[in-house]
Amino acid sequence: MNISSFSYEQFFHGHSVMFIVPHEDDEINMAGATIYGAIQEGLEVYVVFLTNGDYEYTFDVRCNETYQMAKEIGLPQENIIFLGFGDFIGHEIIQNKSAIITSRANHNKTYGFDFASLVMNETQPYSWSGIIQSLIDVILHFKPDTIIATDYDTHVDHRLCTFTVACAIEWIIKYTEFRPQFLNGFAYSTGYETVDDYYENNLLSTVINKRALPSNEFSTGNPTLSWVHRLRIPVPYDCRNRELVTNPIFKAMAAHMSQEGYKRGVRLINGDQVFWRRRTDNLVLYADITVSSGEASYLNDFLRFNIANVKLNSYNPEDYMWIPTIDDMERKVHIAFNKTTAIQVIQLFGNVYNTYNYCSIRIEMSNGKQILLKEITYMGQGISYIFDEPVSLEWIDIYIDKQCLGLSEIELYSNNNDIYDYCHILADNQFMYDWVVYPGEKIPMITPYIESLRKDMITYGESIRENSYRWLINNKYVDISALQSTIERELSTSPLQLRLESSDGLVFCESTIRKGSFKDWCSLKWNQLQDKLAYIRIKSKYKQGYKAAQAYKQGGI
């Protein structure tokens, strides 16, 4: 049995969390176990659907399936919010931001229990501004402590979700006092299109399916996010259930019968969920920015990259970057604050493509100090400079050399983030719960995942943070240098109790590891066979639901 100090309430910085997804089924693809765990812990969970999912099927079909999904995981029906926009309109909306689009379902304004009509008393047009306004309205109406939104992948509506949510968050930060925590996750490459690994010997962690990425040049669908820097959280006990058809993730996904969700349970049940955090306290968003040449507005628009045509998988720097003109010898950004401001973190983003050219950046500050960052090879996924203590500044000047094309975003923070710390034990980098080493398998390498030590990007300046965590085996402290050898020496068919804890013992994770016999392996495979037979028996029910949905099909892709 795994025991951990992890708390959804502390992780979400409060008692409420909002999930914003493009379609009815993306909530489970992106964050099913997280939604379930938050509900089980008693948090207020809202799920917001950007579109009505009405490209192939009527809204009634997608709506009823969503209500059934909610029953399976205990989500109150009143916490389901439909924004009511058309399915598969992402390309047209982004291509022509001033136009009102008519969807395949022949609608050009929100409908179907849409939030704009029910709460704001006025529908919104199918337009760029209409979507952003609806997002602003729903976020400010509920004011969740944390927002988790679907990030950029191969579907045009997922790409639309990425950009419109970012623009809504930008507006909220610039013009209101509300500062939610903001996370992103993927619905396709780590969910809908990830690998079938449920029947491995031990429960494995989430992986990204590289075949599902829009480009093989990047490690995730979003070119500014690195897989190595992902944030990982554990999943609840029920969602680790090795009986597929009774697992709440399978049942919730299978409720989306028109999408044949029952086929994807073996992809979605893993030992962790992965997200990326985006801070919402960037001081540059309300600072005065001037540049020696080029377009300054790109530097504080909350968009680290952009694209003019979401059907393409190439990114033109001119669509999202401040690029000084060729004759600009100064190549300077001046950031002025309206009052003396404490700064501890400087983050810079640039061209998402790696040109493999070394460049240098000089940062001058009003306190007379300067920073020189040399031999920078890549800024597409960000670089960070962290002062040991905050410095009080009135302005900052940033100079880039000619080897640096430009910058896409500048982010300044007054502190090095108040991170909620938690930990987990890893077995060969898999989130470990009750691990069995079966005959013929190697003993896994046991290492820690410690959130406070995780890096969001390449970091300069900061003093090295020491790992103050300690290990126990069967309630006895073990030096980290002897951890692996002790496990290998003492491992037997009786479970070893492993505990990873902070120096004060308040942050901890416990897991077990043992040797499995040949009989254990046979029992595992027998149970998996029985599980597959149970799936075959219940599959006919979901197939019938899928066939019934075809009567409401409107045609489509």
Residue 25, pLDDT above cutoff 70: yes
Q: 422, 449 in Cβ contact below 8 A?
A: no
Q: Which two tokens stand for residue 436?
A: 């069995």
**Chain mean position to CA 190:** 10
Give the Cα separation of 29 and 47 in Å (integer).
Answer: 13
Give the Cα separation of 394 and 342 in Å (integer).
Answer: 9
Q: What share of the chain in percent tops pLDDT 90?
A: 93
For residue 514, which amino acid is it? R
pLDDT value at position 214? 83
CATH class (in words) of the domain with range 15-279+539-552: alpha beta
Give the bridge partners for 18, in sequence order: 46, 147
The secondary element (H helix, E strand) that includes residue 539 is: helix 518-549
pLDDT digits (tens, 9 = 90+) for 318-375: 999 999 999 999 999 999 999 999 999 999 999 999 989 899 999 999 999 999 999 9
Q: What contacts 9, CB < 8 A, 6 or more positions away?
A: 15, 41, 42, 43
Average pLDDT for 530-549: 94
Other CB atoms within 10 Å distance of the CB of residue 557: 6
**Chain mean position to CA 340:** 34
φ, ψ of residue 389 in degrees (nearest 5): -135, 150
DSSP 87-133: TT-HHHHHH-TTSPPPPTTS-SB--SSBHHHHTSSS--BSSHHHHHH
pLDDT value at position 463? 74
φ, ψ of residue 423 in degrees (nearest 5): -145, 165
Average pLDDT for 233-243: 96
Domain boundaries, the chain: 15-279+539-552, 290-413, 423-516
Q: Which two tokens stand for residue 172?
A: 């909220």
Whether 423-516 and 290-413 are alike in CATH topology: the answer is no
Q: Which two tokens stand for residue 465?
A: 């943070």
* pLDDT class of 301 with cuts at 50, 70, 90: very high
For residue 246, which amino acid is it? T
Residue 87, pLDDT above cutoff 90: yes
Tell me the whole-structure pTM to 2 decimals. 0.97
Average pLDDT for 115-136: 98
Other CB atoms within 10 Å distance of the CB of residue 523: 12
Q: Which two tokens stand for residue 290?
A: 């001037």
Q: Rg of the chain's alpha carbons, rounded to an integer?
A: 25
Residue 417, pLDDT above cutoff 90: no
pLDDT digits (tens, 9 = 90+) for 112-125: 999 999 999 999 99
First to last CA, the chain: 45
Residue 467, pLDDT above cutoff 90: no
Q: What integer best gives the mean pLDDT of the chain? A: 96
φ, ψ of residue 390 in degrees (nearest 5): -60, 145
Residue 304, pLDDT above cutoff 50: yes
* Higher-confidence position of 214 and 47: 47
Residue 556, pLDDT above cutoff 80: no
Taking domain 423-516, whether its CATH number is 1.20.120 is answered by no
Give the Cα separation of 2 and 221 in Å (integer).
Answer: 32
Give the Cα separation of 374 and 351 in Å (integer).
Answer: 17
Q: Which two tokens stand for residue 226?
A: 């690195």
Give the Cα separation of 153 and 194 in Å (integer).
Answer: 12
Give the bridge partners for 372, in sequence order: 362
Q: Which two tokens stand for residue 512?
A: 């077990």
Q: What contacts 305, CB < 8 A, 6 or more positions away?
A: 222, 223, 224, 315, 320, 352, 380, 408
Number of helices (H) and strands (E), helices first, in the chain?
11, 23
DSSP 442-486: PPPPEEEEEGGG--SSEEESPPPPP---EEEETTEEE-GGGHHHH
Q: What share of the chain in percent tops pLDDT 70?
A: 99
**Chain mean position to CA 123:** 30
φ, ψ of residue 36 in degrees (nearest 5): -60, -45
pLDDT value at position 555? 54
Burial class (CB in 10 A: 0-12, 13-18, 19+), 50: buried
Residue 407, pLDDT above cutoff 50: yes
The secondary element (H helix, E strand) that includes residue 63 is: helix 59-73
Average pLDDT for 135-147: 98
Residue 557, pLDDT above cutoff 50: no
Give the Cα separation of 550 and 419 in Å (integer).
Answer: 48
Average pLDDT for 18-37: 98
- Listed residue (415, 433, 413) closest to 425, CA to CA: 433
pLDDT value at position 311? 87
The CATH superfamily label for domain 290-413 reads: Galactose-binding domain-like (2.60.120.260)
